[in-house]
Structure 1
C-alpha cells in the first residue's frame, strides 16, 4: 500500500467534552487531569504557521488544514499515543512582529507602539490557539493551551521555563503551546520565543518521545530548492552536512524560517530516531509513519 492510499478509519471511541478553555486552567492544577497509561509513548507535533494560516494575509486561518490534522490526532490518541502540540504564528504573529521589530527587542524610538503591539500579538496568538482547541473539540478531544508568555522567559533553545507541565500523563487533555512574545532578563526586555525552540526542548527533555514531526504547508518535506521552483525535488533523508537552498520569506518571517527548523530538527535527531518533516495537507502520512516507520516526507538525521 502506498502512503497516499492509506485509509483513515472512523473510530467508535468518543471522549467526553469538558468546559476547559485555553487560559483558565492554572498550571499548578494540571495534576488533577484524568490520567491514563500510554503504551506507545509520545509524539510531538508542530503545526507550521504556513500550514494553519496564510502567512501573507493578516489573521487568515486555514480551518480545513487544522481540521484534517485534528482528525488524525484523534486516531493517534485512540492508538494510545500521548500527543504534545506546538503551533506556529503564521499571519497571527509574524506580520505585526516584523512591522514593530519585536524580535529585536525594545526600540526606544517606537517603544509605545511596541508595547501595544506586544499586547496585540499575544492576544492574537491566544485567538489562534483557541482555533486549534476548537478543532480538537470537534473530534471530541479536549486540550488546553499554555502560552509561553505566562511560563517562559528569554529566547532561543536555552529559554527559561518549566516544561514539566507537558510531562504529565494528561490522558486526552492535550497540552498545546506556541511561538510567543516573552520577557527577557537583559536590556532587550522582550523577544520572540520560536515554536521551533519549543519543539527542541519538548522533544529532548520530555520522556518517552518516539516521534517529532514538523508539519509543513503544501510541501512534501525538505526540498532541494525553494518549493516554488518547478524542478524542486523532495529530499527523503537530510542531515546538516547536506547543502540545500531553503526558502525564507524575510519580509514576513521573524524567527528564522526553514533554516531554524532544520537546525533544531537535526539537534533533536541526536536523541530521537524519528524526526520528520511532512506535508501537513496530507496528515494521513503521520499514520503511515507511526504504523510502518516510513512515509513520503523527509527524515532528519543528526550530523
Structure 2
C-alpha cells in the first residue's frame, strides 16, 4: 500500500513539475513575443495590401494561404536554422538578418519609386491579368506575400530567440514554436478581420435598423480609407524594419556611427519632450531607421533598374 501512495506522490510531483514547466514556457513565450511586438504590428500592416483588388469571396482564402506559408516559414525553415546557428554559429545570425533587411528596404523603396515615377500598375491592367489567369494571379500574390513575410518572421523569431537565449536548446525550440503559432494566429486573424470589415458593415447596413445600420454604413465608407492607409503604413513599415535591422546589425558588427547618431537623437528628443518623451523618442528612432532603409533601398533599386538597361543598350550597340 505504501508503494502505491509513493507512486501517487511521484505522479503528483511530476504533474506539478509539468504544470510549472508549461507556465515557464508560456511566460517566456509571452516575454519573447512582447519584445517582437513592433515587427508584429508591421507584419499586420504589410499584409492587407496583398488582397486589395481581389474578389471579396477570395480574400479569406488568400489570407489563409499566406498564413499557412507564414507558419511554414517560421516552423520549418526559420526555427531550425535559427536554433542551429544560435548553438553553433551565433555570429552568422546578424549578417543573415541584414540581408533580409536589405530585401525589405528594397521592397519599400521600389514601391516609393513606382509611386513617384508613375510606373505603378493601373487597376485596369491588374484586372486584365486577373481575368486572364486568376489562379496564376493568386499564386503570384501569395508567393510575394510569403516572401516578404519570411523576412519579418525571421526578425520576429530572432528577437524572440535573443530573449530566451539562456534557456536550454529544447526549451528554446518549444518556446519559439509557441511564439510562431501564437503570432501567426494573431497577425493573420487581425488581417482577416480588417479585410472583411466592409462585408460585415454591408450586412449590418442591410439587415440592421437605426444606429446599427448607420454603423454598418460607416464601416463600408471607412474601410477603403483604412485599407489605403494600411497600404501606406505597410510600405513605411518595410522601410523602417529593414532600416532598423541594418542599423542594429552594423552596430553589432562594429560600425557604430549610424546607430550612435540615431540613439543620441532618440535620447535627446526623449529627454527634451517631457511626458511625450517615450513616444517621440521611439518616433525619432523609427524615422532614423526609415531614412537608412530608404537610402539602402534606393541604391539597390537603382542598381537593379540601371544594370538591365545598360545590358540592353550594350546588346543594341553590338547588334
Q: TM > 0.5 between the two? A: no
Larger relative CO (CA 8 A, sep 6+): 1 or 2?
2
* Bigger proportion of residues as helix: 2
Bigger Rg over Cα: 2
TM-score band w.r.t. shorter chain: under 0.3
